[in-house]
Amino acid sequence: MAIETFKRYENKYMLEIRTMNQLQRQLAAHMELDGFNQNGQTYSISNIYFDTPDSYLIRNSLQKPSYKEKLRLRSYGVPGLETKVFLEIKKKYRGIVNKRRSSIKLADAYTFVEDGKIPDEQPYHNRQVLREIAYILQTYELQPRLYLAYDRMAYFHCQDKNLRISFDTNIRSRRTDLRLEAGDWGEQLLEPGQWLMEIKVADNLPFWLARLLSDLEIRPVSFSKYGSEYIHWLGEQQQESRIITFPSLIPQTAGVLRVRA
């Protein structure tokens, strides 16, 4: 059965491919690949993030409050409407991340988010999580705002399954066709060859891992996939707002004037 509740610290690091390869060679002595990474290949994760029309949830998140939350719909690969996916609440309080999710058919998830009514009970549902999501839907006027996907390589510690390290690349996003079944495509968020590493742990980093990060001079960064996309998108919106359209008073010269900052 898939794990439906997570409570942990998450630390993030931005790596170039050479550093990532060095690190992965060292991890092999302590960790094993996720079962989804068959033959050492990445697997894809696709998400729809829900937010208010004025993007309140992500704007609040970027202010780094002591508490923040988000709602997303997640699938592994491109699903069909009858495919079971995950509807997730992700909360962060004083640095501790708490993620709760329930399996749900994709078509039912769309209906649930739209009308706020919990679907009829199914064996694969986590009813408590669905009730929590219903409360969030009553609190905020949420709608699909962003599609975001990436390719992942993940490792679990051989003895401590609470220690997990993931490497994400090819992070792509779009703000149109906001349905998971619409396909796995979007605009690139990272430069080619960049990988986002996330270390997820229930407590402190084990000594061997802290020493390894130090030896390779890997330092933590503050990075949010949704937050970074929102800042990029906001910059594009502001750039577009600098385009002033004049009425066609003189047909030969009327048109668009681009005003530079």
Please give the chain's pLDDT, 261 residues, in tens: 455 666 889 999 999 999 999 999 999 999 999 988 988 899 999 999 999 999 999 999 999 999 999 999 999 999 999 999 999 999 999 889 999 999 999 999 999 999 999 999 999 999 999 999 999 999 999 999 999 999 999 999 988 888 999 999 999 999 999 999 999 999 999 999 999 999 999 888 999 999 999 999 999 999 999 999 999 999 988 888 775 444 443 334 333 333 333
Residue 70 lies in a domain: yes
Does residue 259 belong to any structural domain of this protein? Answer: no
Is residue 94, in this structure, part of any structural domain at all? yes
Q: Taken in order 75, 76, 79, 85, is the CA torsion positive or negative?
A: negative
CATH of the domain at 45: 3.20.100.30
φ, ψ dihedrals at 100, nearest 5°: -130, 135
Q: Is residue 261 part of a domain?
A: no
pLDDT score of 256: 35
Domain assignment present for 149: yes
Number of domains the chain contains: 1
Range(s) of the domain holding residue 174: 5-244
Backbone angles phi, psi at 92, to 5 degrees: -135, 125
In-domain check, residue 111: yes
**What's the 3-state SS for the chain?**
CCCCEEEEEEEEEEEEHHHHHHHHHHHCCCEEECCCCHHHCCEEEEEEEEECCCCHHHHHHHCCCCEEEEEEEEEECCCCCCCEEEEEEEEEECCEEEEEEEEEEHHHHHHHHHHCCCCCCCCCCCHHHHHHHHHHHHHCCCEEEEEEEEEEEEEEECCCCCCEEEEEEEEEEECCCCCHHHCCCCEECCCCCEEEEEEEECCCCCHHHHHHHHHCCCCCECCCHHHHHHHHHHHHHHHHCCEEECCCCCCCCCCEEECCC
Residue 152 domain flag: yes
The pLDDT value given to residue 261: 34
Interstrand relation of 84-93 and 67-76 (parallel, antiparallel or unpaired) = antiparallel
pLDDT at 175: 97
**pLDDT for position 238:** 86
pLDDT at 243: 58
- Alpha carbon distance, N-terminus to C-terminus of the chain: 54
Residue 46 inside a domain? The answer is yes
